[in-house]
A and B are shown apart, each in its own frame.
Chain A
Amino acid sequence: MVALLMHAAEQGLVYGIAALGVFISYRILRFPDLTVDGSFVTGAAIASSLVVLQGLDPVVALAVAFAVGSLAGVLTGLLNTRLGITDLLAGVLSMIMLYSINLRIMGRPNISLLRAETITRSITALFAPLGSAAVLVFLAGIVLFIKLVLDFFFKTEVGLALRATGDNEAMITAQGVNTKTMKVAGLALSNGLVALSGGLVAHYSGFADVGMGIGTIVTGLAAVILGGSLIRSRRVGWMTASVLLGSLIYRIAVMFALRYGYVIGFQASDLKLVTSLLVIVALVVPALRDRFVRRPKPC
């Protein structure tokens, strides 16, 4: 049981990085970005092919994964802001393009990392005294670092302008900010994080597969919404914390569902259906509540 919980916590942390990415596009920019389903795989594809095929250091491979993921975000941002394609469609187009690109990067539909020098392996070796907790501690460290960097960024002048871009675009334009640039930058950051998450997932689970990104947007949203309903603060530090908490709880719930769900006939393949249904409920309930209970609207 402890091993299972640890495993769920590790997953909550790695996928939590992708959830932070979704948080940036969906909550901060109010841009429903479907690119993530593709950029997650791009991250995994790069992080694994660079290690397996090119023999690169895993840390370098993950850094490249982040960078290329950012480019995917830039692509979506440009499609939307420069070519005037709607946000949803821009994301879908990028996602589909990335499918082909990801296959090109990997050269085949999946790559096994079982015999490769993955980040998880180097960490286990490096922090041997920690035993089986090494990976968990390492992941917690990375995730905490990313969270703190984001918290800081969103308090800087540029970070404030980015938040205002999602909040009141006309107003921040009148303050001299080019909101097109802001959107492109925000999507780059978001997809960079998603790709990093994909790369870590590949290293952690020992394989990359071209289909592994399906539903990244939905699980990300699940974490963002779940966390947001538990911690209702508008302070950035609390919001990023809530996303990570949401991701952890989601992964623990999934673990229980997979382990004990058979009692009610639940199969692993039902996961995406159930998650999507949960997201639908989470999106609809506040809307219904707003309809029946008058209260100050945040936006």
Chain B
Amino acid sequence: MLTLEGVRQVFRSGQDLVVALAGIDLVLDRGDFLTVIGSNGAGKTTLLHVIAGNLIPTSGRVLIDGEDVTATPAHRRARRIGRIVQDPLSGTAPTMTIAENLALASKRSKRSLAVALTRRRRREFAEVLRPLGMGLERRLDDPAFLLSGGERQALTVTMATLARPDILLLDEHTAALDPANARRIGELTEAFVERTGLTTLMVTHNMEQAIALGNRLVMMHKGRIVLELGGEKKRSTKVPELVSLFSHRHIADDELLLETAP
């Protein structure tokens, strides 16, 4: 489904070069649910940017279903890739109404001069919002900026479900929410992924979540994948174990750097 081959991403910041991704190789099969952990600055967000097409990697290739999309602009990958990020503000158009936001997301084919919001569409939207239990189905004509962070993120997840992508990218999408809302959005996402069986890549700082969700786990550090767990191994791993692995890998990696440094 999704293949990364030797993806490197180097940024220039002032005089320095920042190596955000130092050669990532990754293959995700259809229906794989990969959780990604790693310290701040490990390159997790950059990785998702490269997959979504917001960044063209310095070198390496990105393939979706065997097709090289390394340089395909983001808007042309959008039909296949859904994306939810940490900031609830980023997933919706703030001055447009809930119904209009849903209409924007539910359009997969070419956009036409047909009226976007028919009465039938509105009824459908009310139906997809009702299970959230947030009363959003009664607020179809409220602009999105009136919603709370949790409500907005719920709307964003709902929009992703309407768009029915093949690949879902989640970047700490519950991190800005209070615990109750974070759990709710987490469950909502899980149910969605389970129902549709789409290929998912989820970045999280919550180790418990990283173990509990999905069938594969990778740990990133300084632009590399330093640990990969899958199947039985992943399920049986406990949080303390993972944390110690986490710190171990850090040290190991730092030593490695020291050794190889000129």
Contact = CB atoms under 8 A, between A and B. Distances in A.
Interface in A120-171: 152-153, 155-161, 163-164, 167-168, 170-171
B96 A160 contact: yes
A167 B113 contact: no
Interface in B112-140: 112-117
A170 B92 CA distance: 9
B107 A175 contact: yes
B94 A153 contact: no
Given A157-B113, A299-B94, 12 more contacts: A152-B115, A157-B116, A158-B113, A160-B96, A163-B93, A164-B93, A171-B92, A173-B74, A174-B74, A175-B78, A175-B105, A234-B97
> Which one of B52, B75, B90 has the greatest number of beta carbons of chain A within 10 Å?
B75
Given A160-B100, A296-B145, A172 B52 contact: no
23 contacts: A155-B117, A156-B114, A157-B103, A157-B112, A157-B113, A158-B111, A158-B112, A159-B116, A160-B100, A160-B116, A161-B104, A164-B96, A164-B104, A167-B95, A167-B96, A168-B93, A171-B90, A171-B91, A174-B75, A174-B81, A175-B78, A176-B76, A177-B78
A272 to B, nearest CB: 31
B83 interface: yes
Contact of A168 (B79, B90, B112, B115): B90
B71 to A, nearest CB: 15
Given A168-B93, A168-B94, A155 B115 contact: yes
A173 B104 contact: no
Interface residues of A, number: 28
A153 B113 contact: yes
Contact of B93 (A155, A157, A159, A172): A172
A234 B116 contact: no
Interface of A: 152-153, 155-161, 163-164, 167-168, 170-179, 234, 296-299
A298 B145 contact: yes
B76 A167 contact: no
A72 to B, nearest CB: 23
Contact of B75 (A156, A173, A299): A173
A176 B96 contact: no
B90 A156 contact: no
A178 B75 contact: yes
Nearest to A28: B95
B185 interface: no
Contact of A297 (B74, B145, B163): B145
Contacts of B113: 153, 156-159
Contacts of B81: 174
Contacts of B103: 157, 160
A157 B111 contact: yes
B146 interface: yes
Contacts of A161: 104, 111
Nearest to A167: B93
A279 to B, nearest CB: 21
Nearest to B106: A175
B244 to A, nearest CB: 37
